[in-house]
Amino acid sequence: MSGARAVQRSVLKAFPDADICVGIVWIKMNPKDDVAAAEKSLQDFKDKRIKHFYDSRQNSGKSIAKDLPLNAEIAWDIYLFYPKGTTWEDKIPKPSKWMHQMSDTDADSEYHRTGDDLVNGLF
């Protein structure tokens, strides 16, 4: 949640007229990560530029983990950046930039960002 809040604060609220789309994929990583918890979290992220998705089977996280040097089976707490007009079709497209907060794995530390470092990495 802290990373999503950083994006909300540093991008969406700081640039209310920016022509961007933010997709948040809520992935079931813990027993409490269910649809109800994801729906409750929607209340914290109200912005017409945000699209929310729920992935109970971790399919998006598994697919992303295969395409990035994460050294993990499932990607979560990650931030993918795409040029305007990029769409997700049958396969998740390769991002132009990415970061992660997966500190409890051996994911590539070059892309690891948390707190202010995450915010600074957004720009």
Least confidently predicted of 8-12, 32-36, 95-99, 115-119: 115-119
What is the band of 10 on the pLDDT scale with cuts at 50, 70, 90?
confident
Predicted TM-score of the model (pTM): 0.80
DSSP 54-94: EETT-HHHHHHHHHTT--SSS--SEEEE--TT----SSPPP
